[in-house]
Structure 1
Amino acid sequence: MNIDFSDKVVLVTGASAGIGESTALLFAALGAKLSLVGRNEGKLRAVAAACHKLRGLQPLPIVADLGTDEGVQKTAKETLDHFGRLDVLVNNAAIGALTSLQPLDMKTFDEVFRIDVRGVYQLTGLLVPALIESKGNIVNISSIVATMVNVGSLPYSMAKAALDHFTRIVALELAPKGVRVNAVSPGITVSDFIKRITDQTEEQYREWLGQYSKNIPMGEPCLGDDIAKMVVHIASEHSRLVTGTIVEVDGGLRFTPIAGSR
């Protein structure tokens, strides 16, 4: 059975780069009608244009900060107003931070939870009625730091642990209504995510990637496309009875305790 998302509406948050960009491109290649959300308008429109070239379908780009009520409400309203339905919600938007309990930094804590947890909670809640109507599904993008115990990314790890449990509880709540809820949990993935939060140059990032890849049992980091393929698989009819599941895509890294995994 081939995977086909023709006539399906898919909303991908954090779609302007990294895992979100890869996910958007793969859904576009499979015929999905896309609503794409990001904060960087230039990058978001570039991704939308690349998606359009694949199958000739014009995505809906929405520039919004999902850490704000206004951004979340705008995303939900514009998606449903434009397409009239929703089949798949991919909650990918997130920020990270390399912080520990000391020194105490509540500003960073609040910012991480505002986007990584509160934004997901609110957007999902607003879009659930549409997903119930379409018997659609939700895929949350978590991280293996949700279950690995490491020092150095405390709020981010806590936020992803919260996202995992949110996935399980909402899956149980929505299963009787025909809506599946799952999460994909990436390990080290080649993107700007780590480079951005560590303020590394490209050369420094490549060196870091090479060093940390030695800790990965399968010997190499994930690419955005590796994560995207799992997202699409879980969102498809191939996984019609899969719900409440956290799927790790990490080359076995979760067995090796190191910091900075997404």
Structure 2
Amino acid sequence: MLTLVNKTSIITGASSGIGKATAILFSQLGSKLVLVGRDESALDQTITLCNPELKNDIIKVSGDLCNSDTCKKIVEQAVNKFGTINILVNAAGILKAGSLENMKMEDYDLSMDTNVKSAMILTQLCLPYLIKEKGSVVNVSSVTGTRSFPGVLPYCISKAALDQFTKCVALEVADKGVRVNSVNPGVIVTNLHRRAGQSEEVYAKFLENCKNTHALGRPGTGEEVARTIAFLASDNASFITGELVHVDGGRHAMTPR
């Protein structure tokens, strides 16, 4: 039976989408939580949906992960309250569209800072505690990290970099008993694409097209990704590291027809 009892988990991006679903599930599995996001009121909403029996074992940290001081504050508050860190879920991320012809370099910089650099900084800061506990890191990547798509160049590059980070660090810390894996979702129904500028009409067509782009004929849910994150973070996955797990309804296996 999958359980996270007696674990302390840091989850970034917990104010919405996959991070929010992961926070709720982790609370149901018994984990103490450090929830991170930019929107404090949205974090409060996430907490109201968590297991009420753990309400005294949840702390929130609002701030910009691109700021290294925010990352230091996250680790300090986690250790001050719970004494340790067992699990880190790097779920924070943004989607910036653009091709090489029209991409804004500031969008590229922001994509790399948010999707890659923040995960690197926070993982580095957590590492001494993860080593002590023989803990686990799960990065939330994307099918765009392993497959190529036009029109979202900054996003694809950042997720490919995150995948290499996952695999390289998994090798670096394996002899210390720390496992590092990623989930690579396909289209998941969240606000990610709306925040990237898609109108409701365009987004609805985008989701409808998942019948053609995903082998299972539909987009996924945050809860479906969260369940895979929980498995990889748990002791049930004790012999899995350096893995990129596609939770994408088969999209990564699709070919043009």
Query: Secondary structure at the residue paired with 1:5?
Result: coil
Whole-angstrom distance in 2 between the partners of 1:67 and 1:26: 26
Structure 1 residues 46 and 256, CA gap change in structure 2 (3 angstroms): same
Structure 1 residues 197 and 81, CA gap change in structure 2 (3 angstroms): same
In structure 2, the residue matched to 1:248 is: 246
Kindly state the Cα deviation for residue 22 of structure 1 after the two structures are TM-superposed. Answer: 0.5
Residue 181 (1) aligns with residue 180 (2): yes
Residue 33 (1) aligns with residue 42 (2): no
Whole-angstrom distance in 2 between the partners of 1:234 and 1:27: 12
Partners of 2:32 and 2:54 within 8 A in 1 = no
Partners of 1:13 and 1:91 within 8 A in 2 = yes
Whole-angstrom distance in 2 between the partners of 1:257 and 1:9: 41
Matched letter for residue 147 of structure 1: T
Query: Secondary structure at the residue paired with 1:165?
Result: helix
Kindly state the Cα deviation for residue 149 of structure 1 after the two structures are TM-superposed. Answer: 1.4
1:1-262 equivalent positions in 2, closer than 5 A: 2-53=1-52, 55-201=54-200, 203-256=201-254
Query: Secondary structure at the residue paired with 1:183?
Result: strand
Stretches of structure 2 that go unaligned for 5 or more consecutive residues are none
Whole-angstrom distance in 1 between the partners of 2:149 and 2:13: 25
Kindly state the Cα deviation for residue 54 of structure 1 after the two structures are TM-superposed. Answer: 6.0
Partners of 1:117 and 1:163 within 8 A in 2 = yes
Query: Secondary structure at the residue paired with 1:195?
Result: helix
Aligned length, in residue pairs: 256
Kindly state the Cα deviation for residue 49 of structure 1 after the two structures are TM-superposed. Answer: 2.1
Q: TM-score, normalised by structure 2?
A: 0.95
Whole-angstrom distance in 1 between the partners of 2:202 and 2:195: 12
Whole-angstrom distance in 2 between the partners of 1:172 and 1:209: 37
Matched letter for residue 214 of structure 2: I
Whole-angstrom distance in 2 between the partners of 1:210 and 1:119: 33
Structure 1 residues 163 and 56, CA gap change in structure 2 (3 angstroms): same
Kindly state the Cα deviation for residue 159 of structure 1 after the two structures are TM-superposed. Answer: 0.7
Kindly state the Cα deviation for residue 198 of structure 1 after the two structures are TM-superposed. Answer: 2.6
Whole-angstrom distance in 1 between the partners of 2:153 and 2:202: 23
Matched letter for residue 124 of structure 1: T
Structure 1 residues 48 and 152, CA gap change in structure 2 (3 angstroms): same
Partners of 1:51 and 1:57 within 8 A in 2 = no
Matched letter for residue 246 of structure 2: E
Q: TM-score, normalised by structure 1?
A: 0.93
CA RMSD of aligned residues (A): 1.5
Kindly state the Cα deviation for residue 32 of structure 1 after the two structures are TM-superposed. Answer: 0.5
Stretches of structure 1 that go unaligned for 5 or more consecutive residues are none
Overall identity of the aligned pairs, in %: 37
Whole-angstrom distance in 2 between the partners of 1:89 and 1:183: 11
Partners of 1:98 and 1:152 within 8 A in 2 = yes
Structure 1, residues 216-247: CA drift from partner, whole Å, max 9, x if none?
A: 11111111011000001111111101001100
Query: Secondary structure at the residue paired with 1:51?
Result: coil
Kindly state the Cα deviation for residue 11 of structure 1 after the two structures are TM-superposed. Answer: 0.6
Structure 1 residues 241 and 115, CA gap change in structure 2 (3 angstroms): same
